[in-house]
Amino acid sequence: MKQKGIFITILCYFLLLPSIGLAIKEKDQQHDIKESTIHSDNHMMHENKNDHDDHDTHHDHDAHAQQNSEKNDNFFDDLKEYENNEKDKIDDHDDHDDHKGHEHAMQINDFHAGHDHEDSNSVELTKRGIKFAGLTFDIVSKKIISKSIELPGEIGFNEDRVAHITPRYPGIVKKVNKNLGQKVKKGQLLAVVENNDSLTTYNILAPIAGQIVEKHLLPGEFVGEDSTLFVIADLSTVWVNCDVYAKDADYVYKGQKILIQAVGTNRKLKTSLSYVAPVYNTITRSMIVRAEISNIDGKWRPGTFITGQISVATDKPVLVVSNEAVQVLDGESIVFVPSKFQNSFEPFVVKKGIENNQYVEILSGLSEGDAYVSKGAFELKAKIVTNALGGHAGHGH
C-alpha cells in the first residue's frame, strides 16, 4: 500500500511538471517585462533629470559668469586701491626711516625724474610727494606790473665845475696864500712862483669860485709845468654817479626819476637822470648813470655812498607768473608746467622782462592761460640737480 502511494506521487509529479514549468516561465517573463518597464521608466526619469540639471547648470553658469565679471571689476578696483595703499605705506615707511624728525623735508622716493618721459628733466611725483613739496598751481595771466631797481652809487664832484691849477712856468714857490678847505673867489691870489729863467715872479690866481679840495705846494718847493698846485671845486652842485649792470640796463633812460639816499642816513632826494653812459666800464662791466643835484648846504659831500632807486612799470598788461615760479637751471630761466603725464612736471625755458617781489614778466616761453607751478618750483629743480649729480636722472630712484 505504501509503495502504491509513492508510485502515485511520482506519477502526479511527472504529469504536473509541464504545467509547473510553463507557470514558472510565464512568471519569469512577467518579471522580465516588469524589470524592463522599471528600467525604461528609470531611464526616462534619468534623462528628464539630466535635462533639468543641464538647464539648471546653464542658468548657474550664466549667473556665475556675471558674478565673475563683477568680481573681476571689483578685483581690479580693489587691486588698484591695494597698490595705492601699499604705495602710501612705502611712502610712510620711507618718510619714517629717511626723514624722522624732519616732517617738512622732501621724500626722495616720491620723485621720479625723467621716468618714462621724453624730457629727461621732467619730474614725476606721487600725490604724497606733491603734498610734501607744497606745490600750488596758477594760470599765466596779464597784469600791469612795476618794479624798483636799486643802484649802488657815490656822490662825486661836478666835473664841469672843477679847476686843476698848474704853473705857467717852472720855478720856486715863493709864497702860498690859501690852504686846503678854504673857499675862494674867482681871481683871488693863491700863490707866488719865481720863474727860473727870468728870475721874475708871477701870481697863481683862482680861475673859478669854489673851495680848495687839493693843495700840492709849499714855500721854497720847485714846481714844474706839469705839477698840479691846487684843485678848486664848486660844491654848490654835485653829481650822483650810479652803476647799472646789464640785467637792468634796458630799464634806465635820460630824464628818468631816481630817488637817492645817503647810506646810513635818512637823507633822501628825488631827482632825474641827466646822463646815461653809452658804453660799459671795461673794469666794472657796468655803465654809469648820473644825476646832478644842488648842494648849497654842503650836506651831499663827494665820496658819500648812496643808493639810487628807479621805478619801472609796464605801459600795458603783460604776461606774468609768480616770482617764486621762476628758477634758474643750467644758466636759463625756467618755469615748471604740468605735463601730459599725470603728476608730472616739465621745465619750460622762459625769457624774463620786468620783475618785482611778486611777479615776473614773461616775454617768451609761455602763453596766456597756461598752468604752471606757482609754489614749490625750487624743490622740483633741486630734485633734477641732485639726480643729475648722482647719475640717477631717468631712473627715478
Answer yes or no: do 302 and 337 share one domain. Answer: no
CB atoms within 10 A of CB 294: 11
Place of cell 621732467: 122
Percent pLDDT > 90 in the chain is 51
pLDDT value, residue 127: 75
Higher pLDDT among residues 268 and 196, named by residue = 268
- Report yes or no on 154 lying in a domain: no
Domain end point (choices 233, 252, 270): 233
In total, how many domains does the chain have? 4
CB within 8 A of 344, min separation 6: which ones?
115, 117, 122, 123, 124, 125, 338
CA 173/CA 192 separation, integer angstroms: 6
> In this model, does residue 6 exceed pLDDT 60?
no
Q: What is the pLDDT of residue 189?
A: 97
Domain that holds residue 93: 63-105
pLDDT at 312: 87
Mean pLDDT of the chain: 77
Tens of pLDDT along 315-368? 899 999 999 999 999 899 999 999 887 778 899 999 998 888 899 999 999 999
**347 lies in the same domain as 379:** yes
Q: Per the domain annotation, does 121 fall within a domain?
A: yes
260, 285, 313 - which closes a domain: 313
Q: pLDDT tens digits, residue range 158-176?
A: 999 999 999 999 999 999 9
Low-confidence winner among 106-110, 216-220, 292-296, 377-381 (lowest mean pLDDT) = 106-110
When mean pLDDT is compared across 134-148, 181-195, 382-396, the lowest value belongs to 382-396
The kind and range of the H/E element at 143 are strand 141-143
* Over residues 28-35, mean pLDDT: 47
> Is 172 part of a structural domain of the chain?
yes
Q: Which of 254, 286, 313 is the last residue of a domain?
A: 313
Asked whether residue 183 is domain-assigned, the answer is: yes
CATH number of the domain residue 189 falls in: 2.40.50.100
Any domain includes 40? no
pLDDT for res 126: 72
Check which CATH number belongs to the domain holding 299 and give it.
2.40.30.170
Q: Is 74 contained in some domain?
A: yes
Q: Which residue, chain included where needed, has cell 648812496? A: 306
Give pLDDT tens digits for 172-208. 999 999 999 999 999 999 999 999 888 899 999 999 9
* 226 and 247 both lie in a single domain: no
Most confident residue range from 35-44, 61-70, 270-279: 270-279
Q: Is the pLDDT of residue 41 over 70?
A: no
Cβ atoms of 115 and 124 within 8 Å: the answer is yes
Please tell me what DSSP assigns to residue 324.
Answer: G
Residue 186 lies in a domain: yes
Query: What is the pLDDT averaged over residues 218-239?
Result: 96
80-89: average pLDDT: 44
Residues 188 and 226 in one domain: yes
DSSP string, 249-261: HTT--TT-EEEEE
Residues 124 and 192 in one domain: no
Provide the sign of the torsion angle of the four alpha carbons 49, 54, 55, 60, taken in this order.
positive
The CATH number of whichever domain residue 367 belongs to comes to 2.40.420.20
What is the average pLDDT across 265-270?
Answer: 94
Please tell me whether residues 97 and 115 are part of one structural domain.
no
Higher pLDDT among residues 110 and 319, named by residue = 319
Residue 135's Cβ-count burial label (10 Å; 0-12, 13-18, 19+) is buried
Element (H, E) at 203: strand 201-205
Confirm whether pTM is higher than 0.85: no
Confidence category of residue 16, pLDDT binned at 50, 70, 90: low
Residues 385 and 320 in one domain: yes
Q: Residue 17 falls within a domain, yes or no?
A: no
Which residues, 6 or more positions from 243, have their beta carbon under 8 angstroms from its beta carbon?
151, 152, 153, 281, 284, 286, 287, 288
The span from the CA of 230 to the CA of 165, in Å, is 5
220 with 257, same domain: the answer is no
